[in-house]
Chains A and B, each alone.
Chain A
């Protein structure tokens, strides 16, 4: 329960209509795309850094937890008010403040939807590469906070590679500018910008973002390659890169996913293949032609069963259909879809997949895997019914085993979804005592009272959440 006086003060800051306290409103800010939930005590809709600063000070003074939130499409539980308190809705800060074509920099507010940024800069002949699956709805603020990736990460990197400066409201209410909003280069002191990139709203609330932009490639070519074993597909991925070709996209689908695509889309994929690669290369027109030739040779030499090349945009869309529909078709197999994000060294992808296959058998679960083969970033997708409590217990155990093995292989808990609340318990396994302790010291230095998105990432306290 939030004290009446605090509600009145909040109403004075943002106006009455921007303070939500009705139980039905609160229910709608209780979840994210993990489908875990916890109903907040209040939701406040904010419009600028000044309001945010005042609210941060107010909640800190009154010992109330505060949880920043964008579109709530994250897959880490990071925006769930897991320990009660106030959700701060940031999607009204949605202006693109500047697109500087000469310096190739855009400055924007955190509530801008990623697809909107992409569309606006492309109108000016520029390119913002990070393209998370939720690009149509995810806010840039959320992408920065969670370190979002996408299909183009192998060649172009993820969100963190494009952030040059930020404006952040700190847990004490100070408004800070990090890095630069106008120069691409700079090395003054600690890289505070990247302290906040991926901080998942635990260290401050991002209110302004400067991103660097690049020019789009002139040509591209798309391939769909089929293999009779996961091992062969893995070898192909390694050989392509050994041959100095860095595809912009190199995506993988396993047999369960391929069959689910065929069940629902009937695009004519052979049901008995074990692995499918969707590869796209881009660059200067002549380079693309040369690389295409090498790529086709390599894929066949490794033992591809077949390879399709798109001759035009329509064919390209056809080839991409299998990958594009991977998650949607898997999600139709069972009522509940749990999307994981295990990432291993590229060379260990076949081993990781084999392990996932074992785990699936051991717990009698349905798990389809697809993902970014070039980055070693897999999305094992567990298909269950969250009404079945027994099955959900098995899910917890299966996820733990996947993470344990992933870290044993030299991998990481998350390639692009962030830690949030759901992976916080595994952080010590990845970073050891010393690492986690430094994480916690940093958190404490900035937010000594642990009021800003508490317990996320550094997992100070174990919090149990139920599925919605």
Chain B
């Protein structure tokens, strides 16, 4: 056992020593942990990783790559926190532990490219054209059928699992102006937080969100200076880039006078609402200048009646739709009833619940690459529960879940669509307007 400064763990200590010590080792976290469910090893559940954190903190073990991989064995789904009798948030301890490991070993080059260049410096959006072209030419499926990804390694293999919609050749923020005026006298001004996934790959979500807000009469501002929310960096333990992202987004949004900030990405939303306050010790109004809402939360809470009025009449047949609760929407933001409220007012759809709708889909950033087999098994369980509902569409509110679930569905040859709730809503509004 060494006592060099190298072995102090300031992040774990600073944020969460009290959490670590409070774990009473009751093991209740095993009951909700999707990872533990798959492999029944103590390394999966929160209790094990909390014990490991404490062992590191008190010098009973020294950090190494094996321990780093154990901390990576977590989907950050927050389900353990829900089962914890003492009310701990173990996932936050593990994010801090990952940050310790990054400080010690830095990141492998591939992770560094993804997190620091593509997401951190906003380079993902500049690749939108290339991704779009590759997707249109069906290069991803071709590569998959030739097993090229397997040869290139796990990160690339992962990419071929997910399934992408049609992608415009320019990023969303290049296609839309900074300020959008509604047709009527504005009832208020909201800022829209785009997020990496909606800016490049899932642009349909950003478009639908902005359009629904406009049709309700909001002036929508899409601040030009905004960037990645930083949640991926939080999850990967890159707290330095995370702090840069907070500063960048804070200055971008504070330039405008906003009544609310709307985001349609579950992960980004929990980043703004949950991670930012954790790091800055300030609330969202102080950090970003306005209260942050998930799009479905904002629409259902403030405009359910207004939306009802602009729904289509005379819909002939109803399409069965089910809803998947993204962990970062349901557990981290408490948004669960709102998307269902929205689905229930849409005349073209019949809403049916799936079993275990709140169970994680197995998408967990780096987890998906490191623990591909577990990730796929978790996704396949989700696929079965979706299949059992007989629904033709899975509504959800998270780009990560959408990629993961659509991938699992396509791999099984199922013709079930994955859509963001707000996209279905915008379709209904368009339908009502005869478009």
Contacts and interface: CB of A to CB of B under 8 A. Distances in A.
Interface of A: 22-25, 27-35, 45, 71-73, 89, 91-92, 94, 111, 113, 115, 134, 136-137, 327-328, 331-332, 335-337, 385-387, 468
B26 interface: yes
B334 interface: no
Nearest to A328: B85
Contacts of B48: 28
B85 A115 contact: no
Given A32-B25, A468-B51, A27 B86 contact: no
B54 interface: yes
B30 interface: yes
B43 interface: yes
A258 B51 CA distance: 31
B43 A25 contact: yes
Nearest to B87: A332
Contact of B27 (A23, A24, A30, A137): A137
B381 to A, nearest CB: 15
A33 B28 CA distance: 10
Given A24-B67, A27-B61, A73 B86 contact: no
B435 interface: no
A24 B52 contact: yes
Contacts of A386: 21
B40 interface: yes
Nearest to A91: B40
Contacts of B70: 24
Nearest to A71: B27
Contact of A22 (B24, B26, B30, B66): B66
A328 B82 CA distance: 12
A181 to B, nearest CB: 25
B22 interface: yes
Given A28-B43, A336-B24, A136 B31 contact: yes
Interface in B1-49: 18, 21-22, 24-28, 30-31, 40-43, 48
Contacts of A91: 40
Given A71-B27, A331-B22, 4 more contacts: A24-B52, A332-B22, A332-B86, A385-B21
Contacts of A22: 66
B142 interface: no
B172 to A, nearest CB: 43
A336 B30 contact: no
A27 B83 contact: no
30 contacts: A23-B61, A24-B52, A24-B61, A24-B64, A25-B43, A27-B51, A27-B52, A27-B55, A27-B60, A28-B51, A28-B52, A30-B51, A33-B25, A33-B26, A45-B41, A71-B27, A73-B30, A92-B40, A134-B26, A136-B31, A136-B83, A137-B30, A137-B31, A327-B85, A328-B85, A331-B22, A336-B21, A336-B22, A336-B24, A468-B54
A240 B149 CA distance: 71
A35 B54 CA distance: 12
Contacts of B21: 335-336, 385-387
Contacts of B30: 71, 73, 137
B31 A115 contact: yes
Contact of A35 (B24, B41, B60, B66): B24
A387 B20 CA distance: 12
B27 A134 contact: yes
A32 B366 CA distance: 30
B24 A33 contact: yes
Interface in B51-97: 51-52, 54-55, 60-61, 64, 66-67, 70, 83, 85-87
Contacts of B41: 45
A33 B43 CA distance: 16
A35 B28 contact: no
B87 A24 contact: no
Nearest to A20: B41
A91 B36 CA distance: 11
Contacts of B64: 24
B42 A24 contact: no
B25 A31 contact: yes
A386 B18 CA distance: 12
Contacts of B60: 27
A418 to B, nearest CB: 16
A73 B85 CA distance: 14
A134 B24 contact: no
Nearest to B62: A23
A35 B25 contact: yes
B134 to A, nearest CB: 37
A22 B70 CA distance: 12
A389 to B, nearest CB: 14
A209 B428 CA distance: 56
A35 B43 CA distance: 17
Nearest to A43: B42
What 3 A-B pairs come out closest when comparing CB atoms?
A328-B85, A136-B31, A28-B42
Contact of B51 (A31, A94, A134, A136): A31
A328 B27 CA distance: 13
Interface string B391-416: 00000000000000000000000000
B66 A24 contact: yes
A73 B83 CA distance: 14
Interface centre among A27, A32, A35 (most CB of B within 10 A): A27
B24 A331 contact: yes
A387 B52 CA distance: 17
A86 to B, nearest CB: 15
A13 B395 CA distance: 47
A13 B87 CA distance: 41
Most chain B C-beta atoms within 10 Å of own C-beta, residue among A111, A113, A332:
A332
A31 B51 CA distance: 9
A336 to B, nearest CB: 7
Nearest to A29: B42
Given A28-B43, A28-B51, A32-B25, A331 B86 contact: yes
B28 A134 contact: yes
B85 A331 contact: yes
A35 B27 CA distance: 11
B147 to A, nearest CB: 25
User: Which of B18, B27, B66 is packed against the most chain A CB atoms within 10 Å?
Assistant: B27
